[in-house]
Amino acid sequence: MPFRRAAVAALAVLTAAGCSSGTQTPAAAPPAADSALPVVASTNVYGSIVEAVGGDRVSVESLIDDPAADPHSYESTPADAAAVAKARLVVVNGGGYDDFLTRLVESSGATPTVVDVAAVSGLAPAEEPHADEPHAEEPHAEGDGHEHGEFNEHFWYSLPTVQKVATQIANDLAAADPADAAEYTANAQAFNSRVAELISRAEAVGKAQPGARVAVTEPVPGYLVQTAGLTDVTPHEFTEAIEEDTDPPAAVLQQTLALFSGDPVRALIVNAQTETPSTDQVRGAAQTARVPVVEMTETLPEGATDYVAWMGGQIDALAGALGTPPSGS
C-alpha cells in the first residue's frame, strides 16, 4: 500500500506543526469536575486503549471503527475535523499509517496534545530514504520484528509498544487533568499488567512450537509473530506488493503458493480487511493443503471494545492453529 513510501513523513509533519509525542499544550485548562476530556484516536484500537486508561474521565471518538474498512484508504469527513478541533488529546499511529489525522490536526487551528505512537514505540526509522532509493535499507531498533529489514507501521501488534502508549496516555491525561492523575496512573498500570499477560501467552506459543514456519498476506501481525517466536517465510516481494496495493509478480505469487505444498507452513495469517485476487489464491492454497488460516485485523471487530480481550483472542487463534492449547484465556 502507498503508505510504505511515506513511512516517516508523518513524524516530520507533526514536528513541524509543533505537536510531538506527549507534548502538552501549556494554555489548556483542567476540565470541569463534571466534564470528560475529549479525545480523538485514529482507530478504535487506540480509542480502546484511551478508554482503558481514562475511564469515565474521557470522551473518546475513534475516527475509524468500521471492521470492514481499510484504514489505509480512509478519507476524513467534516465531522472528523470538528472532533479534532475540540480535542484535548489526539492519538495517531504515525509512521505514514494515518496521515489523514495528522493533516486534520494541522488544519484545525487547535493545539491538542498529540501522542504519536511511532515516536513512542522507538521502532520508527531514524530518517526517510532518498526519493531515488524507495527501498533503501532503513535503521531499526534491535529486535523490532523486521525479518526483511523493512519498516512496519502496525505498532499495535507490538505489545511492548502498547504498554508504552498506555503509560504516555496516562501521563498526558494527568497533565491535562491533575486532579485525576492517580486514577490515570493506576488504570494504565492495570492495563499494562494485562498486556504483560498477553506477552507471556504469545511467548508460550513459540516455546511450544519453536521456530514454527508461518506465512502472512501482509506485514500487519509482524510484531506479534516475532513475539511468538515464529518464523515468517513469506517472500518479501509478496507482502510488499499487497501492502502497496499492487499485484505481486507472477513468479513471486508462485513462490508464495509453494509454501503450501511439500513441507507446508504451519499456518497462514491473513489480514481480513484486505482481500485481493492474490490473497484469495493464497488463502485457497492454504485451505486445499489443510493449513489453518488465522484472520487478524487492523481494527477492533464489531461489538469489541477491549484491546486485551481482542488481542488475546487472536493469540489464542494462532495457538490453536499451531496445535498449542491456549494459555491464560
Please check whether residue 328 lies inside any domain of the structure: no
Residues 276 and 296 in one domain: yes
Residue that terminates a domain, selected from 164, 181, 197: 197
- Per-residue pLDDT, averaged over 234-244, amounts to 94
Residues 181 and 247 in one domain: no
Q: Residue written as cell 497462514?
A: 268
| Residue 143 backbone class (left: φ over 0; alpha: ψ -120 to 50; beta: rest) | left
CB-based contacts of 228: which residues, under 8 Å, 6+ apart? 202, 203, 205, 206, 315, 318
- Distance in angstroms (rounded) separating the CA atoms of residues 292 and 313: 16
Residues 26 and 39 in one domain: yes
pLDDT in tens, 101-149: 999 999 998 899 999 999 999 997 754 433 333 333 333 333 333 343 4
Residues 243 and 163 in one domain: no
Residues 223 and 274 in one domain: yes
Residue that terminates a domain, selected from 197, 223, 246: 197
Q: Which residue range forms the structural domain that includes residue 99?
A: 2-197
Please check whether residue 327 lies inside any domain of the structure: no
pLDDT surpassing 60 at residue 317: yes
Which CA distances in Å does 323 have to 110, 212, 291, 292, 319?
51, 11, 12, 10, 6
Please check whether residue 295 lies inside any domain of the structure: yes
Residues 147 and 287 in one domain: no
- Distance in angstroms (rounded) separating the CA atoms of residues 294 and 200: 20
Please check whether residue 326 lies inside any domain of the structure: no
pLDDT in tens, 7-66: 333 333 333 333 344 544 444 444 444 589 999 999 999 999 999 999 999 999 999 998
Residues 44 and 139 in one domain: yes
- Distance in angstroms (rounded) separating the CA atoms of residues 48 and 180: 19
Please check whether residue 134 lies inside any domain of the structure: yes
Beginning with the edge strand found earlier in the chain, give each strand of the sheet holding 231-232 in spatial order: 231-232, 213-216, 267-271, 293-296
- Distance in angstroms (rounded) separating the CA atoms of residues 132 and 139: 17
Residues 210 and 190 in one domain: no
pLDDT in tens, 10-20: 333 333 333 34
Please check whether residue 329 lies inside any domain of the structure: no
- Per-residue pLDDT, averaged over 180-194, amounts to 98
Residues 193 and 232 in one domain: no
CATH number, domain with residue 212: 3.40.50.1980
Residue that terminates a domain, selected from 197, 213, 237: 197
Residues 179 and 68 in one domain: yes
Q: How many domains does the chain have?
A: 2
Residues 89 and 174 in one domain: yes
Residues 189 and 214 in one domain: no
Start-to-end CA span in the chain (Å)? 34
